[in-house]
Each structure stands twice: as structure tokens, then as C-alpha cells.
Amino acid sequence: MCFSEEFKDSLAEINEKTFNDSSLAAFNYQYHHCEIYQEYCKYLNIAPDSIQTTSEIPFLPIEFFKNHAIKSGNWSESKIFKSSGTTDTGRSHHYVKDESLYHSLSRSLFESIFGPLSDLQIIAILPSYQEQGDSSLISMVDYFIRFGKQGSGYYLNDNVKTILETDKKKIVFGVSYALLDLARVGIRTVNTKIIETGGMKGRRKEMTRKELHTELTEGFGVDEIWSEYGMTELMSQGYGPNGSFVFPPWAKCMIRDINDPFSYVETGRSGGINVIDLANIDSCCFIETKDLGRVSGESFEVLGRFDNSDIRGCNLMV
């Protein structure tokens, strides 16, 4: 079995003690097997034997996914995830070797937080994502719906009221503007957790996350709103209530200094988000995003985007 396959088999065993060594192993592999990443490291005059800790690993700017097929190794993709957009121009493309790995890891994390899919109705209110059809979010939710209880599926605002008011245990994945429209109608959900994702996508006036969550909790009659942090370029997601996110053990958020992208700020200070996602072993595990955030303990917050970033479909409100 090749390194990448053995590495994927070991993802579920990664913990805080082994994360550094696993990251260094992934870096060494991708330096030698991802041509674009190796070129970037050489441009920075960084060689594998000079890297001793995760904080020394170079992170590939996320823009590279727009113009290059980021692959570690020589293989044919089973799926290409694409970011939001009306044409392929300017869209990120994540070439995925094994979509089933994406599904299994997504399910593992989701069930560790919310319980077995077989006990839940998965309700998806994601109209703009359905129109695109090639997003990582739709791939994940499609998979969850297949294993959810009867009644799981995609709904539009005009036909979801009845199912939300039943007493069956439900998880709602909703794009923010669609959830806001529902909340303003005054649907009182029962036995439901709501996960907002996707932002306003230019359909409604932008709000802070706190403003959005306040209106959603009041409108739906729930105690809290959950959020999902995911993006085209990552195989893993983060979830959390009240605007905070937690990654699975095989992923980590690091906050870089906005004035010196090769150094990191202290816990609690804001800066640019770098993500290590070891599930990206077939592409690139080390991604420099255009998101601003801060880490607090085991969780992190997303505070916005760099001013020169293009509008993305993922949920990145302050």
C-alpha cells in the first residue's frame, strides 16, 4: 500500500500528540509529490530537511486552486468540487481522488456531534447551491440525506413549514438568506438544530453573524444556531454553536500575522486563517486562506475576509 493510502487509513487515529509528526510526514510527501506545492516551496527557498514543526511549514495560498490542478501524485479524480460562481472563470477547483473518503470523514465528524444519521431527518434548504450542483456542500448533504430518516431531502421555503413543525429529530442545513426568510415568517420548529452556511450570497443585506443568529433564534424558537465552516479546497469541516468552530482531530486552524504571513500570533489575537487539513493528503494539506479569524482554546472564530478577497459562497460574516 502506498504512503497516501496508509496515511488516509490512519486519519481517525490522529490526536493532539501525533498531529505534529503526521503533519511533517504529510509535508514531506507533498513536497515530493505535488509539483505546484514543491515549486512554491522552492520559490520561498524552503527545503524539507529545514522543517521541524508545523509552524515552519509553508502554506499554499488558496488562489492556486483557481488556476492549477493541485494533486499530490498521479491519479484520476473521482470528483471535482467547484466554488460558487456563474462561470468557471475565477472558480476554485478541488480535484478529489476519493469522494468516498470525503463522505466517510464528513459523516464521522457530523455523527460525533449530532448523533447517528439514521436517527435524524436531514432537511436541506440550499437553493443557490443546488443550482450550482458541483459544490462540496451538496456532495456532503446528498450523502447525509441518503442515510437520514424518511422525510430527509431538499426543501424550498414554501414547502418546508410542515416538516419543521413535526416532533421528529431534525438537522437543518440552510443557506443564511433562506433561513432568514423562514424565520421572518415565524415558523416554530420542534426538536430541531439549525446549521447556517453559505452567507447571504448577495441576495440580502449583509449582517453580522451575531445579528443573524439573534434573528434566527427568535424566529425559529431555538436556543442557539449552529454554523458550518467548510470550503471547496478542504476535505474537512468545522462545526460549532454561536459563531465558534471546532475541527476534527486531523485538522487545525492556525492564525498568521497579517503583516508577516510566515509568523503566527498569540492565542486570542486576530489574523489570517491557515488551515492544516490532513485529509487533503491527495491535494495539499496546508492552505493559506483569505479569512480573518482568531483561536480561543480548542475553537476558532471567523471574523471576516481580507478586503481584496472576492466574494465566496462560504459563510464568513463577522
Which range, 83-92, 259-268, 299-308, is most confident? 259-268
Per-residue pLDDT reduced to its tens digit, 41-54 = 999 999 999 999 99
Per-residue pLDDT reduced to its tens digit, 191-231 = 999 999 876 555 566 778 889 999 999 999 999 999 999 99
pLDDT of residue 315: 41
Radius of gyration of the chain (CA): 19
pLDDT of residue 203: 58
Please check the confidence at residue 78 and state whether its pLDDT lies above 90: yes
Which residue has 448577495 as its cell numbers? Answer: 202
Per-residue pLDDT reduced to its tens digit, 16-70 = 999 999 999 999 999 999 999 999 999 999 999 999 999 999 999 999 999 999 9
Comparison of pLDDT for 241 and 312, the residue scoring more:
241
pLDDT of residue 313: 42
192-197 vs 226-229, strand pairing mode: parallel
The DSSP-derived string for 10-47 is TGGG--TTTHHHHHHHHHHHHHHH-HHHHHHHHHTT--
- The DSSP secondary-structure symbol of 310 reads P
Per-residue pLDDT reduced to its tens digit, 143-200 = 999 999 999 999 987 788 889 989 999 999 999 999 999 999 888 888 999 999 876 5
pLDDT of residue 87: 64
| Dihedral (CA of 69, 74, 76, 79) sign | negative
pLDDT of residue 199: 64
CA 114 → CA 48, 105, 193, 235, 308, distances in Å? 40, 14, 9, 19, 36
Percentage of residues in the chain having pLDDT higher than 70: 92
Nine-digit cell string for 139: 456532495
In the predicted model, what is the mean pLDDT of the chain? 91
Rounded CA gap, 201 and 315, in Å?
9
Nine-digit cell string for 90: 475565477
Domains of the chain: residue spans and CATH: 101-229 (3.40.35)
Rounded CA gap, 62 and 73, in Å?
19
- The length of the chain, given as a count of residues: 318
Nine-digit cell string for 92: 476554485
